[in-house]
Structure 1
Amino acid sequence: MEKRELVEGKVDWKGRTAVRGKQGGTRTALFVLATFAFENVATLALSVNLTTYFNGVMHFELADAANELTNYLGTSYILSILAAVLADSYIGRYKAVLIGGFLELVALALFAIQAHYPSLKPPPCDVFEPTSHCEKIGGGSAVLLFVALYFLAVGSAGVKAALPSHGADQYDEKDPKEAKQMSSFFNFLLLAVCGGGAVSLTLIVWIQDHKGWDWGFGVSSIAVLFAFIIFTVGLPMYRIQVIQGTTAITEIIQVYVAAIRNRKLELPEDPTELYEIDHDKEAAIEEDFLPHRDIFRFLDKAAIQSTSIGKYGKLEAPNPWKLCRVTQVENAKVILGVLPIFCCTIIMTLCLAQLQTFSVQQGLTMDTSVTKSFHIPPASLPIIPVMFIIFTVPVYDRIFVPFARKITGIPTGITHLQRIGVGLILSFISMAVAGFLEVKRKGVARDHDMLDAIPVTQPLPMSTFWLSFQYFIFGIADLFTYVGLLEFFYSEAPAGLKSVSSCFLWSSMALGYFFSTILVKIVNASTKNSKSGGWLAGNNINRNHLNLFYWLLSLVSLFNFFIYLFAAKRYKYRPTNPVLTNEKAKV
């Protein structure tokens, strides 16, 4: 077997060096895409419909129900960082996916059990009737609810942290053909998410609303089981990234510690005098060497060399907490450089959180009929952008990217930062449109004297499809920003931080969900003297001022976009990035 057929740094499931054509490639990545699709069949419906479950079944107030959902989502995304560190440095990415899938299966089974037995949930009541007394869930039943919820959060964190990176591991970035295929993989990863999401937002939501929540959670459990089986079947064909042994995060921390300890030393005028190990002695990891860049110079002090003689007159081995190699310093610079981009994407998820919570509640007040006999559940409204993305991703990947590639010379058509920027400006537009549509919805309620109407029995004479405008625009934003972020962070991250790099996206989303909870509380506290007792207070959305809240988010999003432009203009791509040949970001 010729050496060129082996893939360095990758092994098969038995620990043997991976063989090109036998392990990895697009064929193997299909198992990852199918796994992600079935996982989203099980979980995406919960991201938009759990507010209804908490409000209508567990009897949380509307704002509290929305906050419980965003807290769960935020926790799941933030835990993905810990899951990624474990995946990269200790257990491996494919094992992290298997553990995460098992926890999701247990959690959904617990949800199904609780939803099935009346003794495990509060007695039914009409949460929209002011005179009705609703008993909120408590005691052991509440414990069961939150155990299931956060088991699901932990399991989902493991899958989100490791599965995208494990899929990208099936390609060799140093091979030009596979590098292009890896770019397509990230686009089709979104397609898999949307394909699973389309089933989740229609079939699973319909089952939850018409057959009962116990059936809904049960079918979701089956979907996770299918995902688990599909992923396991592909095990003999996977290229598995060799576990680094030491955490790359530790190496990043060492750079900062060494830079602080060496802060009083003078930087040499010639960067070649900074410490680096001999390339020849480390030929096996030659791809890990990065050239020095004249940015964040304060970190260069971590690589200032000083001769250290030991007790027996021999040179001592360098202390990694006082002397770091140039490549290690450059990796730290890469992580520091992406932080401003990371921070600028948080607001977009804050906007997304409203479409998963308050927009669903808007739909509950409106006419959901498609025909005389068929009604679309409001939680299924995100199917509109999802279907658009399903049809758009192949067009984007197979038509737009090759066309743009001929003009720009960039393998991905446009730069990652350009793609992210398009999504951010569209999120601003989406929130502005949402505000205007809420004004129209409340105007219809006022004109028909239905401001105090009970949505379940007295829907407004206004189609819920009006909300599709805000979902449609945000769906396009998803296509650009979230996939652009995932590919950007993966391509820029050091080799030992590939799973952690994908968690930059999930962490950005986590902070967005947490900030949503905080912002809702701040807005209600600041507007408690209004007639409704707060812009978002109570259960009657017709009496609230959701339009003002949407416009506030729109202004915040616009301000955030201008900050992003400033950060993106200053960003310099990693020199070894195969996507870009120039350091300067094009925005």
Structure 2
Amino acid sequence: MSSQTRIQDKFKRQMEEGHQLERWEGYVDWRNRPAMRGRHGGMLAASFVLVVEILENLAYLANASNLVLYMSKFMHSPSRSANTVTNFMGTAFLLALLGGFLSDAFFTTYHIYLLSAVIEFVGLVILTVQAHLPSLRPPTCVTANSNIPCKEVDGKQAAMLFGGLYLVALGVGGIKGSLPAHGAEQFDESTPQGRKQRSTFFNYYVFCLSCGALIAVTLVVWIEDNKGWEWGFGISTATILFSIPIFLSGSTIYRNKIPTGSPLTTIFKVLVAATYNSSITSSQRNAVSSMATSPSYRTETSEEDNAGEKVPIQSSSKGLKFLNKAMINTPGHTALECTVEEVEEVKIVLRILPIFACTIMLNCCLAQLSTFSVQQAATMNTKLGSLKVPPASLPFFPVIFIMILAPVYNHVIVPFARKVTKTEMGISHLQRIGIGLILSIVAMAVAAMVEVKRKRVASHRGLDSTGPLPITFFWIALQYLFLGSADLFTLAGLMEFFFTEAPSSMRSLATALSWASLAMGYYLSSVLVSIVNNLTGNSQHTPWLKGHNLNHYHLEWFYWLMCILSGLNFLHYLFWANQHKYRLTRSGN
């Protein structure tokens, strides 16, 4: 008898002797065996995820934060550089939905991370090779000061550039869609301690994002600007490769949620069934209505939590009554018959979508950190003593602030809020998101005033001047601080909100909505820039945001427009936040 067979027999005997009570229902280990209490999951398992996130975000942000300058200087595409960056970053975050969907439906978050890391590694290898070999890039521009434009990247060079970029985007999307959910799945939400640890995990997940970003926007960006882009891409390549064995080191203690099939199938079936049954008779409608409001209905409307216990779904069935029609048994259409639980799960998803939509505008504001804010800083005095700071290193300021604020929030603000409010969370998820939205409004107002000051200095020297303006780049840091604070409050709150509120069969996909909001924000930024330029450009005026010299832009007007739109968006958010009822009352919200 082989050793493997003996181990399997021993495991079976343990199951027969009653040790099955120690299992995590619905979870397996890395060998696809039942995950066991005390052996799998917990903060130690989640710690591997936090370390990996530092490396992963370093690899991604090291290039994304400086990509606008790479596109304009080395690929000679200044007019399209801002939109190229926002489209790349938007695609990366939008693909998180694919990673989350695959994690819920067919694979575990464990396997999706490993596959995505390999894909990102391949994309970075392609970009590194292109940055290293001059023959794979457009020729050096020697006519920068003449009227002859530089040759932009095209043909095979463009195919290699965008092929590498979007392989990276695919890998980043898969990682963002699987890694946070993988870490959050390690905690036992049937106990207050487990729920508090999960909340701590999300706070420190953002902290680790910032740690990776700090290294990226300081050390790696400096290397890219002073040693060459092949070094920057090379560091990112090595970093993502190094993250894989670190992630694998925690394999023996991870607990991995068993995929339960496509969550989109459930959503589609309920919507189709409700639509098909919309012509039911009044007697049938009354039967469904009485069932939806009866105590027995609420008792059977439940799902299994991480501990295998039945947890009542607390969301009221008084809303979205149209979906109740999906529960009518229509003769001859058994494939469309939906259970009470399936209908309630779809209602939960539909209730969190307005909150998701309200965060897109905030992320549109965040998109400016990677585009116009970098271009602003490039026109200013970036010297810090004898050290010249690269413009792409400006995120250093919000990153440091987040790294300080995240532990303070978790260990000081939240405990104090718990004592004051007498609730488990202290500050609810929706309150936290709302604070972030307010900070984004302030950030855009500050950005507009700083741009007015920068333009005033530029006008004294001449708007066509190309040298650094006699104004310190520290002024730009103000808008970075406010937007960084907004990001901390909103991103961590949003991820935990989606993970907690979503049905267990859709948690990875729901958590990925946090990144999809970022994606929509970047896309919205590109759309707004195009719309503003089309509306403001005519025979007598130049567009607000177009040209080869930032001093001729009306960037301050654009920032005021963003401020107004953000204010309207906050009012929209208040309406939906006040309407929302938390699904799990035991979470302390």
User: Scaled by the length of structure 1, what TM-score is found?
Assistant: 0.92
Q: 1:126 touches 1:132 (CA, 8 Å); kept in 2?
A: no
Distance 1:346 1:130, change over 3 A: farther
For residues 341 and 137 of structure 2, what CA distance do their matches in structure 1 show? 56
In the TM superposition, residue 410 of structure 1 has moved relative to its aligned partner by 2.6
Q: 2:320 touches 2:347 (CA, 8 Å); kept in 1?
A: yes
In the TM superposition, residue 409 of structure 1 has moved relative to its aligned partner by 2.5
Distance 1:128 1:344, change over 3 A: farther
Aligned residue number for residue 34 of structure 1 = 51
Q: Deviations over 1:397-448 (max 9, x none)?
A: 0111111011223322111111101101111110111011001001111112
Aligned residue number for residue 362 of structure 1 = 376
Q: 1:573 touches 1:580 (CA, 8 Å); kept in 2?
A: no
Which amino acid is 1:93 matched to? T
For residues 538 and 415 of structure 1, what CA distance do their matches in structure 2 show? 45
Aligned residue number for residue 516 of structure 2 = 507
Which one of 178, 182, 190 corresponds to residue 174 of structure 1? 190
Aligned residue number for residue 555 of structure 1 = 564
Structure 2 gap ranges (5+):
1-13
**Aligned pairs, number:** 563
In the TM superposition, residue 222 of structure 1 has moved relative to its aligned partner by 0.8
For residues 281 and 416 of structure 1, what CA distance do their matches in structure 2 show? 23
Q: Deviations over 1:455-486 (max 9, x none)?
A: xxx21011111101000011110111111111
In the TM superposition, residue 532 of structure 1 has moved relative to its aligned partner by 6.8
Aligned residue number for residue 264 of structure 1 = 279
Aligned residue number for residue 266 of structure 2 = 251
For residues 402 and 295 of structure 1, what CA distance do their matches in structure 2 show? 34
Which one of 137, 140, 152 corresponds to residue 156 of structure 2? 140
For residues 410 and 362 of structure 2, what CA distance do their matches in structure 1 show? 23
Aligned residue number for residue 359 of structure 2 = 345
Which one of 45, 51, 57 corresponds to residue 68 of structure 2? 51
Q: 2:188 touches 2:194 (CA, 8 Å); kept in 1?
A: yes
In the TM superposition, residue 132 of structure 1 has moved relative to its aligned partner by 4.6
Aligned residue number for residue 88 of structure 1 = 104
Aligned residue number for residue 565 of structure 1 = 574
Aligned residue number for residue 287 of structure 1 = 310
Q: 2:26 touches 2:258 (CA, 8 Å); kept in 1?
A: yes
For residues 543 and 376 of structure 1, what CA distance do their matches in structure 2 show? 24
Aligned residue number for residue 344 of structure 2 = 330
1:477 has 2:496 as partner: no
SS in 2 for 1:91: coil
Which one of 80, 90, 93 corresponds to residue 77 of structure 1? 93
1:154 has 2:177 as partner: no
Q: 1:41 touches 1:223 (CA, 8 Å); kept in 2?
A: yes
165-174 vs 289-298, greater mean Cα deviation: 289-298
Which amino acid is 1:270 matched to? S
In the TM superposition, residue 295 of structure 1 has moved relative to its aligned partner by 1.3
Q: 1:125 touches 1:132 (CA, 8 Å); kept in 2?
A: no
For residues 576 and 142 of structure 2, what CA distance do their matches in structure 1 show? 50
1:436 has 2:444 as partner: no
Aligned residue number for residue 244 of structure 2 = 228
Which amino acid is 1:267 matched to? N
Q: 1:532 touches 1:544 (CA, 8 Å); kept in 2?
A: no
246-255 vs 273-282, greater mean Cα deviation: 273-282
Q: Deviations over 1:302-336 (max 9, x none)?
A: 12356x6x9xxxxxxx8241x21111111111111
Alignment of 1:382-421 (within 5 A): 382-421=395-434
Structure 1 gap ranges (5+):
311-317, 582-587
For residues 479 and 303 of structure 2, what CA distance do their matches in structure 1 show? 54
Which amino acid is 2:388 matched to? H
* Superposed CA RMSD: 2.2
Q: 2:327 touches 2:343 (CA, 8 Å); kept in 1?
A: yes
SS in 2 for 1:270: helix
1:129 has 2:129 as partner: no
Which one of 280, 294, 299 corresponds to residue 323 of structure 2? 299
Q: 2:24 touches 2:308 (CA, 8 Å); kept in 1?
A: no
1:319 has 2:334 as partner: yes
For residues 273 and 375 of structure 1, what CA distance do their matches in structure 2 show? 67
In the TM superposition, residue 126 of structure 1 has moved relative to its aligned partner by 6.3
Distance 1:296 1:127, change over 3 A: farther
Distance 1:409 1:9, change over 3 A: farther
Distance 1:118 1:287, change over 3 A: same
Aligned residue number for residue 313 of structure 1 = none
Identical residues among aligned pairs (%): 43
More helix by share: 2
Which amino acid is 1:497 matched to? M
For residues 484 and 524 of structure 2, what CA distance do their matches in structure 1 show? 21
